[in-house]
Structure 1
Amino acid sequence: MNESRLIADSSEWTFSMLERYNEVIGQIAVNDLGLDVYPNQIEIITAEQMMDAYSSVGMPLGYKHWSYGKQFVLTEKNYRRGQMGLAYEIVINSDPCIAYLMEENTAMMQALVIAHAAYGHNSFFKSNYLFRTWTSADAIIDYLLFARNYVAECEERYGETEVEVFLDSCHALMNYGVDRYKHPAPLSLSEEKQRQREREDYLQSQINDLWRTIPARPTEAVAETEKRYPAEPQENLLYFIEKNAPLLEPWQRELVRIVRKIAQYFYPQRQTQVMNEGWATFMHYTLMNRLYDEGYANDGFMIEFLQSHTSVVHQLPFDHPYYSGINPYALGFGMMSDIQRICQAPTDEDR
């Protein structure tokens, strides 16, 4: 082993050490393996901050709602009782890609999660077609800021209780408020504000009842009654409510739109969990082995890594008392490893 290359020889980490790990892992990932990634923004947080990130679904910004506090209390109680552990990292699909690392991690674990999150998940976010189709990584932070400020303004103007009750209703339909097939318009903070102003001006112009007193031609009335409503089936309930609910105020329609946009952002995460985690696990396994092979890590580092990796990809049998379903890390890692084998050493069946 080349001692001059060794980055760490103990379990304690420093910020300069993390910068060095990120630099070396990035060179291997981008230059040698050809990964296409967003710029990385790595944040170190405490266990309590990690629980807070859990409760807000990992979003760095977000509007206030009681459900996030409820989830925080539940997570905290389970963690204190030892009924659950915390993730070593959380990564955000944004540009730059934000990765949160726990300060309690060892030096090896910090290197592992940099490889897993900052390069594994990051490259998947940027390259997977579902994420490219349904999310706008360069605009999500701006939109979350817009949403938080708008909800706060509504609370000041219409009261916290009324806004909270309305958001409760929207949250109940979040899973049915996503488009699965058509391509949505990209998010833009300036466009969102301009569209909001235009919508309010238009609705204000409809208040004048004079236009409603003009009788319609009989032929027009018959034609209207024969039209199907809606013209096409609409699976996105929040979109249908936003566009067609007759009694909603402009600010309520905007809240429906905000919840719908955020639900759409998370849609690819649910659809690609096995592939996403499998790719990130495969990449951290590959990158950590490269660190060791090229002399950046010692034997103790590698033994600790293999222990952690083995526990991550362990799949309990279906008849085990603690079996809780398929381990997406194990299944995804197995898929990616098999794809590598097919490419490098195909059998007759593979051909």
Structure 2
Amino acid sequence: MLKRASLPLFEGSDWDFALIQRIYDAVESIALGDLKLDVYPNQIEIISAEQMLDAYSSTGMPLFYKHWSFGKQFAANEMLYRKGLRGLAYELVINSVPCINYIMQENSATLQTLVIAHAAFGHNHFFKNNYAFRQWTDAEGILDYLDFAKSFIASCEERYGQQAVERLLDCAHALMHQGVHRHPRVRARDLKAEAAREAQRQAYRDQIYDDLWRTLPAEPKAPEVKADERRQALNLPQENILYFLEKTGPRLEPWQREILRIVRLIAQYFYPQRQTKVMNEGCATWCHYQIMTKLHERGLITDGSFLEFLQSHTNVVYQPNYDSPQFNGFNPYALGFGIMEDIVRISENPTDEDREWFPDFAGKGDGIGVLKDVWANYRDESFIAQFLSPRMIRHWRLFRVADKQSESKLNVAAIHDERGYRRIRRALAREYDVGRQEPDIQIVDVNLTGDRALVLEHLVADGMLLDENDTRMVLQNLANLWGYEVRLRELNAADRKELKTHIRQPQLQA
């Protein structure tokens, strides 16, 4: 039988640090004891609204280097917050060891309970167990690496000037989304070791430096190399533009290469979060719902607190219909939570339709076990493609519309029948494919013994060319880093027909 507590953890909205500790202990007991979650050690920090705004401006990281764009973002967010045009998150969580959880001091005791369940155990479990985070991130080393990055960039500002460092960071930030490895090559990088290796590289450079080297005569011009051999030697094509610049950029100094490496590794650290937004928020929302419900069943929170929680939870998972003026795409909290609730239902109380669509786990009775497997082994695209059920499609009233530029009318291409369900599920999953959300741009050639022009290709999918203005600005940053001409060809992915060419020359500054 369920054993109820003689007194709830709190009554009313006020809290103190002793209560936060009791709340954490109660939530932890359910998360680890009942749900069997596997989490990193937690660190809870109480922050003000201004500190939350500051965290927003620096991508939520507790340690970060300085850049003018962060101050600009802080000022914009603060203005909107002060005018009441936007709210702030109840919490912020960092994928690190320990897992740092920022909770707002303005939260009520009920909301503090909710955000601890959501962030300290839901997000924490997902960070520790999902394959994308295990593959691409080093949670144990990220805090030390950020500390190294901050001090290294500060030292570069002192030595080479703030303006030179800011110009370099401007260019690197413009290329961050094109500065990741999208396909596994090696295991997640040890960021502590990476910082130590840079110290060794700098010590070696200082040791071998001799000003007499600059007096030596220039080397004779290297013989021309065949294009295929040249591309093979440079490992082309290359999707990670920052990596190529760091290793090959002919005009970059060692300190500039190290800053590119810093920006690139931080971009790689955030890459799994772009692939798992629906799953990550769905996991945290499902966990907090289960934990808060069990706290209420055991008498640890009052009926009033539970109603306050339900109001917040309902707002979080609200999904307007397609014909609502409020519709602005799919709410990742609602989509993730809805599919995960449906997985548990199918596991424990399936219909005949569910048994046909999900024979591997329908009726097996281990809903939490299925969810843990899903959290560990899927990302948003594959999660939706595998687990969006016909029942969810009907409940959300989903259908597929084909919108072709060559046709004057919209065409309803999939409805609620067996074939339609599969088409709808496949179409929705593709909306969360990072490979389709971001352009496929790769460096394909450069002749380092010739004109040194950097040649890139963009494979155009579904006729979607790059925005002219954005392309011009980003290519200018790339040309400034490379130091020579940059050419970008846009090719039709189907037949490789050239659709457009962009060319930029560097604007070298003293």
2:167 corresponds to: 165
Are the aligned partners of 1:176 and 1:235 in contact in 2 as well (CA < 8 Å)?
A: yes
Q: Deviations over 1:208-240 (max 9, x none)?
A: 786974797xxxx46666513233311000001
Residue type of the alignment partner of 1:59: M
Please state whether the residue corresponding to 2:6 is helix, strand or coil: helix
Matching of residues 1-351 of structure 1 within 5 Å: 2=4, 4-182=6-184, 183-198=186-201, 201=204, 213=219, 221=223, 227-229=229-231, 230-351=234-355
Please state whether the residue corresponding to 1:91 is helix, strand or coil: strand
**Residues 185 and 329 (structure 1), Cα distance of their counterparts in 2 relative to 1, 3 Å cut:** closer
Residue type of the alignment partner of 1:43: E
CA distance in 1, matches of 2:194, 2:174: 27
CA distance in 1, matches of 2:228, 2:180: 29
Please report how far the alpha carbon of residue 328 of structure 1 lies from its aligned counterpart in structure 2 after TM superposition. Answer: 0.7
Between 3-12 and 183-192, the greater mean CA deviation after superposition: 183-192
Please state whether the residue corresponding to 1:350 is helix, strand or coil: helix
CA distance in 2, matches of 1:234, 1:172: 18
Please report how far the alpha carbon of residue 5 of structure 1 lies from its aligned counterpart in structure 2 after TM superposition. Answer: 4.1
CA distance in 2, matches of 1:287, 1:23: 12
Q: Deviations over 1:304-328 (max 9, x none)?
A: 1111111111111222223222111
Structure with higher RCO (Cα < 8 A, 6+ apart): 1
Are the aligned partners of 2:5 and 2:298 in contact in 1 as well (CA < 8 Å)?
A: no
Q: Which runs of 5+ in 1 are unaligned?
A: none
Residue type of the alignment partner of 1:7: L
Please state whether the residue corresponding to 1:54 is helix, strand or coil: helix
Residue type of the alignment partner of 2:141: A
Q: TM-score by structure 2 length?
A: 0.65
Between 179-188 and 59-68, the greater mean CA deviation after superposition: 179-188
Indicate the structure (1 or 2) with the bigger Cα radius of gyration: 2
CA distance in 1, matches of 2:196, 2:46: 33
**Residues 338 and 2 (structure 1), Cα distance of their counterparts in 2 relative to 1, 3 Å cut:** closer
Please report how far the alpha carbon of residue 202 of structure 1 lies from its aligned counterpart in structure 2 after TM superposition. Answer: 6.2
Q: Which runs of 5+ in 2 are unaligned?
A: 356-510
**CA RMSD of the aligned region, Å?**
2.2
**Residues 210 and 326 (structure 1), Cα distance of their counterparts in 2 relative to 1, 3 Å cut:** same
Please state whether the residue corresponding to 2:230 is helix, strand or coil: coil
CA distance in 1, matches of 2:338, 2:348: 15
Q: Deviations over 1:61-115 (max 9, x none)?
A: 0000011101100100111111110000000000110000000000000000000
Please report how far the alpha carbon of residue 348 of structure 1 lies from its aligned counterpart in structure 2 after TM superposition. Answer: 1.9
CA distance in 1, matches of 2:342, 2:55: 34
Alignment: residue pair count: 347
CA distance in 1, matches of 2:354, 2:217: 70
Are the aligned partners of 1:196 and 1:254 in contact in 2 as well (CA < 8 Å)?
A: no
CA distance in 1, matches of 2:310, 2:227: 68
Identity rate, percent: 55
CA distance in 2, matches of 1:339, 1:11: 34
**Residues 133 and 3 (structure 1), Cα distance of their counterparts in 2 relative to 1, 3 Å cut:** closer
Please state whether the residue corresponding to 1:300 is helix, strand or coil: helix
Comparing both structures, which one devotes a greater share of its residues to strand? 2
Residue type of the alignment partner of 1:198: R
Residue type of the alignment partner of 2:260: V
**Residues 306 and 226 (structure 1), Cα distance of their counterparts in 2 relative to 1, 3 Å cut:** closer
Runs of 4+ in 1 over 3 A off after TM superposition: 199-216, 221-226
**Residues 256 and 191 (structure 1), Cα distance of their counterparts in 2 relative to 1, 3 Å cut:** closer
Please report how far the alpha carbon of residue 245 of structure 1 lies from its aligned counterpart in structure 2 after TM superposition. Answer: 0.4
**Residues 42 and 208 (structure 1), Cα distance of their counterparts in 2 relative to 1, 3 Å cut:** same
Residue type of the alignment partner of 1:336: M
**Residues 346 and 139 (structure 1), Cα distance of their counterparts in 2 relative to 1, 3 Å cut:** same
**Residues 54 and 223 (structure 1), Cα distance of their counterparts in 2 relative to 1, 3 Å cut:** closer
Between 36-45 and 175-184, the greater mean CA deviation after superposition: 175-184
Residue type of the alignment partner of 2:330: I
Please report how far the alpha carbon of residue 186 of structure 1 lies from its aligned counterpart in structure 2 after TM superposition. Answer: 1.9
Residue type of the alignment partner of 1:192: A
Please state whether the residue corresponding to 1:100 is helix, strand or coil: strand
Are the aligned partners of 2:63 and 2:147 in contact in 1 as well (CA < 8 Å)?
A: yes
